[in-house]
């Protein structure tokens, strides 16, 4: 096994890529939430000035990527690669957003884990010398997700207490090679997760379906790196919500490990309980926007020194749920540290 692989599934990046710039874009509900003032741009209209919700989500991604690239003083066309994903069939929001950029594009699908997946793959590409400038981006839109996975909004169906609210948001990060010492954040380790399935069949309880995957990946990361929860300033999952976060802490408590002092969840951070989101936020854009609006700035200015983003995804479709299938899940983790120099 080569020197970059640690233990079961963790990769140590020998030349840790830098997160040079980032941008978070959201909608009205996100603006009204606790992190609203931290977004780079928010839309007051869920249509984002477009004719359809799907086109609105495309616009979210375009704006996020453009703003992140602009912070680097680079045109989008100067990127070596775009790694992007969303919740829609064929990842159409991502592919349409990349259309016209003339940049090589990899469409990714990890459900709500997509931002961590794109960061992890992008970091490996940069560390391996296969690219110098990579954009990792993910998005979601409440209305497009409801139309695809649940009911038409006009139906007015009631949501269960365990249901989560899909974020109308996007987040984009520009990763550059280790020589870029001016970048304030670096990615030191990534851990690609396994598909876990404990037999949950309730499509309105994503937290319960995804918590075992978060537990498995984090436990693997700790074991592979010889670290403990207290070695990190924060361990941020996304998006387990209220229900899944409690289950994750319970799973670790069986190992006599208390992660609660350093654990929080992007789905809990994005919205306030008064916003009627039930168990919290979800969607590819939830972890992506919380990372870019709230977490990376804290690493950049030293309020946090080391953190884990462990984003989780429920790998199901409306068809599989209707056929009575259980809901498998996956979690990918990325270790981010402050400071341009190693």
- pLDDT digit string (tens) for 121-137? 999 999 999 999 999 99
Neighbours of 5 (CB within 10 A): 12
| 8 A C-beta contact, residue 48 and residue 98 | no
Strand partners, 334: 190, 309
Residue 70 CA, distance from chain mean position? 21
- Over the stretch 157-196, which tens digit does the pLDDT of each residue have? 667 778 888 999 999 999 999 776 678 999 999 999 999 9
Give, in words, the CATH class of 1-342. Answer: alpha beta
Would you state the structure tokens that stand for residue 195, as one six-digit string?
């598909």
- Alpha-carbon distance of 7 to 189, in angstroms, equals 12
Query: Tokens 């680079």 map to which residue?
Result: 74
Q: How far apart are CA 276 and CA 228, in angstroms?
A: 35
Cα 291 to Cα 307: distance, rounded to the nearest angstrom:
11
Q: Under a CB-based contact definition with an 8 Å cutoff, are residues 69 and 101 in contact?
A: no
pLDDT at 342: 37
pLDDT of residue 180: 63
Rounded to whole angstroms, the Cα distance separating 171 from 116 reads 11
What is the C-alpha to C-alpha distance for residues 39 and 27, in angstroms, rounded to an integer?
10
What pLDDT is attached to residue 341?
Answer: 45
pLDDT computed for residue 278 by the predictor: 80
Across 52-207, the runs of DSSP E, i.e. the strands, are 81-85, 105-108, 133-140, 165-166, 169-176, 185-191
Q: What is the pLDDT of residue 213?
A: 98
Phi, psi dihedrals of residue 106, rounded to the nearest 5°: -120, 115
3-state secondary structure of 228: coil
pLDDT at 147: 81
Q: What is the pLDDT of residue 183?
A: 83
pLDDT at 276: 86
Ranges of the chain with pLDDT below 70: 1-2, 150-158, 180-181, 340-342
Domains of the chain, by residue range, sit at 1-342
Write the secondary structure of 121-159 as one string of H (helix), E (strand) and C (coil). Answer: HHHHHHHCCCCCEEEEEEEECHHHHHHHHCCCHHHCCCC
């Amino acid at each position: 096994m080569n020197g970059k692989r640690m233990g079961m599934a963790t990769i140590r990046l020998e030349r840790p890529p830098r997160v040079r710039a980032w941008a978070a874009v959201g909608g009205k509900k996100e603006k009204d939430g606790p992190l609203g003032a931290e977004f780079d741009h928010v839309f007051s209209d869920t249509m984002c000035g477009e004719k359809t919700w799907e086109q609105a989500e495309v616009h979210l991604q375009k704006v996020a990527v453009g703003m992140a690239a602009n912070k680097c003083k680079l045109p989008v066309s100067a990127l070596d690669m775009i790694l992007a994903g969303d919740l829609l069939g064929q990842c159409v929001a991502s592919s349409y957003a990349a259309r016209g950029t003339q940049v090589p594009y990899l469409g990714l699908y990890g459900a709500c884990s997509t931002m961590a997946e794109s960061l992890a793959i992008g970091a490996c590409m940069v560390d391996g010398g296969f690219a110098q400038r990579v954009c990792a981006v993910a998005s979601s839109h409440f209305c497009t997700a409801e139309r695809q996975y649940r009911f038409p909004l006009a139906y007015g169906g009631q949501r269960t207490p365990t249901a989560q609210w899909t974020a109308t948001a996007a987040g984009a990060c520009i990763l550059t090679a280790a020589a870029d010492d001016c970048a304030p954040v670096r990615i030191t380790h990534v851990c690609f997760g396994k598909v876990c399935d404990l037999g949950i069949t309730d499509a309105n309880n994503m937290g319960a379906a995804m918590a075992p995957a978060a537990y498995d990946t984090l436990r693997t990361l700790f074991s592979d790196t010889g670290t403990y929860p207290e070695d990190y300033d924060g361990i941020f999952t996304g998006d387990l919500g209220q229900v899944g976060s409690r289950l994750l802490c319970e799973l670790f408590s069986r190992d006599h490990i208390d992660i609660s002092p350093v654990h929080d969840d992007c789905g809990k951070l994005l919205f306030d309980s008064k916003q009627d989101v039930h168990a919290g936020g979800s969607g590819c854009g939830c972890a992506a926007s919380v990372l870019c609006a709230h977490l990376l700035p804290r690493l950049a200015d030293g309020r946090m020194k080391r953190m884990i983003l462990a984003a989780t995804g429920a790998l199901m479709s409306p068809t599989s749920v209707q056929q009575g299938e259980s809901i498998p899940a996956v979690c990918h983790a990325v270790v981010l540290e402050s400071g341009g120099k190693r």
